[in-house]
Chains A and B, each alone.
Chain A
Amino acid sequence: GAGVSQSPSNKVTEKGKDVELRCDPISGHTALYWYRQSLGQGLEFLIYFQGNSAPDKSGLPSDRFSAERTGGSVSTLTIQRTQQEDSAVYLCASSLVPGQNEKLFFGSGTQLSVL
């Protein structure tokens, strides 16, 4: 597709369940990011992938969060044993290269609601 695609667009789950969020970056983009947008909190960096390098996981808030990127393309963010404080919009972004001046292209996000 032409842009970054995320699925599902909305996810409602029960506390304690696991969820998987998917991101399809723009074809050819080597850098992929996950951010979390919480109400009143702005955007919080979660994890970054660049090519075949080890990902930067420094933003993951707990060990319940993990992510992978298969074949340098699609990425999946997994949240295990979800908690109510995990409710947020999860945004994926990609860029052609990871340079300082490169702009990020964002998907529309997955709205996660944990009941």
Chain B
Amino acid sequence: GDSVTQMEGPVTLSEEAFLTINCTYTATGYPSLFWYVQYPGEGLQLLLKATKADDKGSNKGFEATYRKETTSFHLEKGSVQVSDSAVYFCALKGAGSYQLTFGKGTKLSVIP
């Protein structure tokens, strides 16, 4: 079945540091890939998505590129802020599927 493996946390960074959260997946066909973010006390919300190979999703300074050859969708940001502190979930929807399969989440803490 479909699965998502993402970097275990927690991750602690200083403000303005570079962020990478690794995500790899297993799926048949061509899944759509997502990053969701959960800020403290809030529900999950979509951060970015990519629906086909080589697509780059971007939002709020975050980027992730759909790499089919490495089955990866790593999340990056060049300069993190304290307000980026949250739990980040990588997820996929398989071809023709309605259901999201999530990774276990990576907690990011950014310190001033």
Contact = CB atoms under 8 A, between A and B. Distances in A.
A43 interface: yes
Given A43-B89, A43-B102, A106-B44, A101 B49 contact: yes
Interface in B17-50: 31-32, 34, 36, 41-46, 49
A65 interface: no
Contacts of B86: none
Interface string A59-83: 0000000000000000000000000
Given A100-B93, A100-B95, A41 B104 contact: yes
Main secondary structure of the interface of B (DSSP, over half): loop
A48 B98 CA distance: 9
Contact of B51 (A40, A56, A101, A107): A101
Contacts of B42: 108
Contacts of B81: none
Interface in B82-102: 89, 93-102
A91 interface: yes
19 contacts: A31-B98, A40-B104, A42-B103, A42-B105, A43-B44, A43-B105, A48-B98, A56-B99, A91-B43, A99-B98, A100-B31, A103-B34, A103-B46, A103-B49, A104-B100, A106-B43, A106-B45, A108-B41, A109-B43
